[in-house]
């Protein structure tokens, strides 16, 4: 384990699994709740910015509506100023025609001099005495600028209502000293221009003139025409349009504004922003209560899970202790699937341990038996070799080679726990030990797993045949080849057993000559092979190559049958 891992593990105290589960549940839940709170804060900020944008857009929509209305009024005023009756100086006909044209509207036409004296007013009957205009400044301003001027809201002298004037100066003075044509309209008739169904509940829309006076308003905070807006609002309204935040009686409000193009008026909307905050306060309360409930449920479930885990671990620990005492245990059933799997594995391990102990005893007994057989075989081999030579070095070489072959067979059997090895593997093993490779060796026969007795005895036979072939036979020259074949012979009668025929065939080697004397090798490949397998051995010393054949009962070879 790395130093960093050891350092990190040092921060974890020794505690119960319940404590760790509860801590993990809390650590998994609290970040989630914190993330939800962060999302709510971001949502609140986003909603507030969206509300500010909507407020500004509502003000712009009202300003565009008012702009279209004023453009229509300006067109109407131009038509009136260019009427034929006014051009001809027939004021009575002008009064009659204009009154008839505007009778279904809230518009009235005035003819006035530069000093504000009214010459004609369609609000009054023809010939009725007229008062001076209540707002002569609008006439003088239009005459000075030479353009159509829109007045602020004021109380009309004739109507005694709050009105607004649209004044157009005449290029040339008209009849009775007329210098300007004025289109006047009641402010109240403009109320529908400020209606917006998209405004939030509790909000107000209004038109404000250039002096900061309310022309008309609509909504929750309706104010009479002529009322001045708050003193700080003009300071908040930067640029043509936008939105601003202000506070009234400790409550946060939003103000949206937009200038009416080419005119001194502004469209404004305002209202409390804490309605949005109230909804988020409700959300926060719901989140807090829900979080506490959720956390309580999670911790409760973690405690229940911890109890189940503790119970399962204790049962498994008890099983392990019993296995340690050598008992065979049955699996404990728990509520945890993985714990059940461990319990089954421990139960199986207890059976496997018992079987392994029995097998160890069996192997020890088998090892003693095999050791006796091997020592007897080695003893007989050494006696035979000692009779055939008086040279110590030659005796040592002969013993060493044969013991090496026997050791290879024993090692192969040990790897298979003395369960036998394939006959093809035994051939490869012995020939590799003597020759070094099997490039010139061909083997052919069915798959056959030979028992431990056959491995040892066939190993000696193959070792002697290979040694003889390397010294005198086919494997002593490069052209030489070796074929090893085996086949199972079916019985000709019912009471007979199946036989195994094993052949050793050498080809393309030097001419073969029968041996002049019999040594240990001849004894092994002939007498020992026939005796060990209760079979018949035939050896043909043909000039083309040695032919060695063993025919013996199959039961003497196959695994599962041993001495």
Q: Which residues pair with 155 in a beta bridge?
A: 162
Give the H/E segment covering residue 447: none
Which percentage of the chain shows pLDDT scores above 70? Answer: 80
What distance in Å separates the CA atoms of residue 538 and residue 551, rounded to the nearest whole number?
9
The DSSP call for residue 220 is T
pLDDT given for residue 563 in this prediction: 47
Q: What stretch of H or E contains 498? A: none
Residue 401's pLDDT band (cuts 50, 70, 90): low
3-class state of residue 210 by DSSP: coil
Residue 204: closest CA among 225, 219, 182: 219
Q: Which DSSP state fits 136?
A: T
Q: Where are the alpha helices (DSSP H) in 330-422?
A: 337-388, 392-415
CA 308 – CA 264 distance, rounded (Å):
79
DSSP 528: I
CA atoms of 34 and 173, how far apart (whole Å): 77
**Tens digits of residue pLDDT in 208-242:** 998 999 999 998 889 999 999 998 888 888 888 88
Is the pLDDT higher at 287 or at 383?
Answer: 287
Kindly give the interhelix angle for 274-324 and 17-81, rounded to the nearest 10 degrees: 160
How far apart, in Å, do the first and last CA atoms of the chain sit? 52
pLDDT at 466 over 90: no
- The structure tokens listed for 272 are 């409390």
Give the pair of three-digit tokens for residue 527.
């007498």
Write out the DSSP string of 141-163: HHHHHTS-EE---EE-TTT-SEE
Q: Which DSSP category does 503 fall into? A: E
Q: What percent of the chain has pLDDT over 90?
A: 24
Task: Tell which wins on pLDDT, 86 or 9.
Answer: 86
Rounded CA-CA distance 315/333 in Å is 9
Query: What's the whole-number average pLDDT of the chain?
Result: 80
Residue 285 tokens read as 């309360």
CB contact burial 398-428 (16+ within 10 A = b; e otherwise): beeebeebbebbbebbeeeebebbebbebbb
Q: What pLDDT, on a 0 to 100 scale, did the predictor assign at position 17?
A: 62
Tell me what pLDDT residue 284 has: 61
pLDDT at 198 over 70: yes
Residue 306 scores a pLDDT above 50:
yes
| Confidence at residue 286, expressed as pLDDT on a 0 to 100 scale | 72
* Beta strands 162-169 and 180-186, pairing class: antiparallel
pLDDT at 370: 58
DSSP one-letter code for 479? T
- Cα separation of 180 and 178, whole Å? 6
Q: What average pLDDT does range 244-261 have in this prediction? A: 88
Nearest to 111 by CA among 142, 87, 78, 81: 81
Residues β-bridged to residue 451: none
CA dist., res. 111 & res. 335, Å (int): 100
Query: Which pLDDT band holds residue 472 (cuts at 50, 70, 90)?
Result: confident
Mean pLDDT of 313-318: 79
CA distance 312 to 54: 61
d(CA 110, CA 184): 7
Compare 96 and 306 and report the one with higher pLDDT. 96
pTM: 0.51
335-352 core/surface letters (b: 16 or more CB in 10 A; e: else): ebeebbebbeebbeebee
Burial of residue 141, with CB atoms counted within 10 A of its CB: 0-12 exposed, 13-18 middle, 19 or more buried: middle
Q: Using one digit for the tens of pLDDT, what is the confidence trace for 57-83?
A: 999 999 999 999 999 999 999 999 999
Contact 80, 91 (CB under 8 A): no
Structure tokens at 130: 């007229």
pLDDT tens digits for range 409-437: 666 566 655 567 888 888 888 888 788 87
| Two tokens, residue 97 | 């025609």
Rounded average pLDDT over 109-115 = 92
Instruction: Please give the full DSSP string across 413-458, using - where no structure is assigned.
Output: HHHTTTS-EEHHHHHHHHHHHHHS--TTEEEE----EE-HHHHHHH
Rg of the chain (C-alpha set) = 60
132-167 tens-digit pLDDT: 998 899 899 999 999 999 999 999 988 889 999 999
Res. 194 pLDDT band, cuts 50 70 90: confident
Q: What does 238-279 look like in DSSP terms, one character per residue?
A: -SSEEEEEEEETTEEEEEEEEEPTTSS-EEEEEEESHHHHHH
Calpha distance 387→449 (Å, rounded): 35
3-class secondary-structure state, position 201:
coil
Q: Which residue has the tokens 């002529």?
A: 226
């Amino acid at each position: 384990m790395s130093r960093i891992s050891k350092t990190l593990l040092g921060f974890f105290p020794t505690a119960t699994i319940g404590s760790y589960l509860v801590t993990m549940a809390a650590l998994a839940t609290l970040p989630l709740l914190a993330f939800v709170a962060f999302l709510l804060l971001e949502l609140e900020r986003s909603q507030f910015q969206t509300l500010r944008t909507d407020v500004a857009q509502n003000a712009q929509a009202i300003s565009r509506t008012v702009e279209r209305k004023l453009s229509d009024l300006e067109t109407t005023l131009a038509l009136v100023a260019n009427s034929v009756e006014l051009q001809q100086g027939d004021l009575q006909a002008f009064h009659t025609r204009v009154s008839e044209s505007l009778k279904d509207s809230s518009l009235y036409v005035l003819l006035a001099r530069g000093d504000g004296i009214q010459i004609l007013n369609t609000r009054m009957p023809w010939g009725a005495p007229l008062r001076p205009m209540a707002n002569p400044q609008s006439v003088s301003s239009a005459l000075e600028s030479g353009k159509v001027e829109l007045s602020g809201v004021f109380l009309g002298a004739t109507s005694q209502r709050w009105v607004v004037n649209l004044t157009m100066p005449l290029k040339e003075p008209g009849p009775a000293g007329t210098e300007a044509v004025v289109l006047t309209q009641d402010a109240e008739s403009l109320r529908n221009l400020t209606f917006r169904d998209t405004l939030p509940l509790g909000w107000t829309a209004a038109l404000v003139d250039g002096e900061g006076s309310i022309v008309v308003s609509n909504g929750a905070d309706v104010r009479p025409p002529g009322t001045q807006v708050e003193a700080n609002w003009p300071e908040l309204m930067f640029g043509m349009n936008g939105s601003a935040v202000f506070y009234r009686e400790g409550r946060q409000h939003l103000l949206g504004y937009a200038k009416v193009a080419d005119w001194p008026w502004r469209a404004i909307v305002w209202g409390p922003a804490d309605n949005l905050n109230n909804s988020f306060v409700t959300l926060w309360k719901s989140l807090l209560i829900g979080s506490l409930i959720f956390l309580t449920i999670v911790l409760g479930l973690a405690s229940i899970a911890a109890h189940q885990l503790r119970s399962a671990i204790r049962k498994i620990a008890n099983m392990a202790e019993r296995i340690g005492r050598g008992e065979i245990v049955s699996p404990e059933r728990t509520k945890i699937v993985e714990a059940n799997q461990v319990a089954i594995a421990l139960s199986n391990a207890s059976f496997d341990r018992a079987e392994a102990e029995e097998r160890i005893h069996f192997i020890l007994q088998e090892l003693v038996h095999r050791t006796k057989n091997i020592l007897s075989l080695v003893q007989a081999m050494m006696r035979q070799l000692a009779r055939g030579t008086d040279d110590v070095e030659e005796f040592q070489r002969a013993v060493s080679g044969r013991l090496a072959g026997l050791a290879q067979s024993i090692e192969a059997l040990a790897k298979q726990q003395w369960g036998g090895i394939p006959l093809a593997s035994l051939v490869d093993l012995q020939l590799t030990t003597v020759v070094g490779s099997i490039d010139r060796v061909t083997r052919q026969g069915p798959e056959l797993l030979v028992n431990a007795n056959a491995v040892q005895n066939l190993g000696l036979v193959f070792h002697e045949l290979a040694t003889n072939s390397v010294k005198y036979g086919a494997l002593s020259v490069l052209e030489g080849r070796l074929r090893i074949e085996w086949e199972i012979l079916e019985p000709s009668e019912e009471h007979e057993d199946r036989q195994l025929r094993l052949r050793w065939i050498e080809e393309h080697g030097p001419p073969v000559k029968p041996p002049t004397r019999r040594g240990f090798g001849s004894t092994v490949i002939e007498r020992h092979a026939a005796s060990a397998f209760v079979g018949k051995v035939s050896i043909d010393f043909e000039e083309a190559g040695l032919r060695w054949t063993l025919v013996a009962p199959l039961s003497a070879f196959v695994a599962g049958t041993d001495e």
